[in-house]
């Protein structure tokens, strides 16, 4: 039973890691992950084989490595490790469907709110134009 739980945890982590990579526009390649990780980690570097094990759900990184991955991918360590967002923000779209913002969306909103009012207006105008273009193309 303990082994089945471990497999479930490691596979869940692998799924979340691949999703975080894809959300960040990064191909889930063991070599790419290892190279990018090693650029950010000050400890002993990892091999592509280690990254492969993370991506396949064979192992989970230790906490120090998990924090580096989370920072790189702009997700919370808890979200990456356990699948639970540290802070959930819920919104409703036009169809009254609930939306949960991920860490990247929350970070973008935080940056937006730190802008001066003139810059916020520019961002709103760009988003409105993009939304209009998307609605026209569908």
State pLDDT tens for residues 73-109: 988 888 899 886 655 555 666 666 666 666 677 778 8
Q: Are residues 66 and 109 in the same domain?
A: no
pLDDT grade, residue 117 (50/70/90)? confident
Checking if the pLDDT of 8 tops 60, the result is yes
Specify whether 75 is located in the same domain as 106.
no
Q: Residue 35 sits in which domain range?
A: 2-82
Q: What is the pTM of this model?
A: 0.63
In a domain? residue 89: no
pLDDT value for 90? 57
Both tokens assigned to 31: 């070599």
Q: Is residue 62 part of a domain?
A: yes
Q: Is residue 9 part of a domain?
A: yes
pLDDT of residue 6: 66
Q: Is residue 90 part of a domain?
A: no
Q: Which two tokens stand for residue 94?
A: 């036009």
Give the contacts of 76 (CB within 8 A, at least 6 positions apart): 70, 85, 86, 87, 103
Question: Which pLDDT band, with edges at 50, 70 and 90, does 2 fall under?
Answer: low
Q: How many domains does the chain have?
A: 2
Quick one: pLDDT band at residue 112, thresholds 50, 70, 90?
confident
Count H helices and E strands in the chain, helices first: 7, 2
pLDDT tens figures, 10-43: 999 999 999 899 888 899 999 999 999 999 999 9
* In a domain? residue 94: no
Return the H-helix or E-strand segment holding 100. strand 98-100
- 46 & 106 share domain: no
């Amino acid at each position: 039973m303990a082994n089945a739980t471990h497999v479930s945890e490691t596979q869940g982590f692998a799924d979340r890691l691949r999703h975080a990579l894809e959300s960040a526009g990064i191909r889930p390649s063991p070599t790419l992950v290892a190279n990018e990780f090693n650029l950010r980690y000050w400890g002993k570097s990892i091999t592509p084989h280690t990254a492969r094990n993370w991506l396949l759900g064979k192992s989970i990184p230790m906490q120090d490595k998990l924090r580096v991955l989370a920072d790189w991918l702009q997700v919370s360590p808890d979200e990456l490790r356990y699948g639970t967002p540290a802070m959930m923000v819920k919104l409703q779209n036009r169809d009254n469907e609930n939306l949960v913002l991920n860490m990247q969306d929350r970070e973008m909103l935080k940056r937006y709110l730190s802008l001066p009012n003139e810059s916020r207006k520019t961002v709103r105008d760009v988003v409105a134009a993009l939304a209009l273009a998307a609605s026209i193309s569908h």
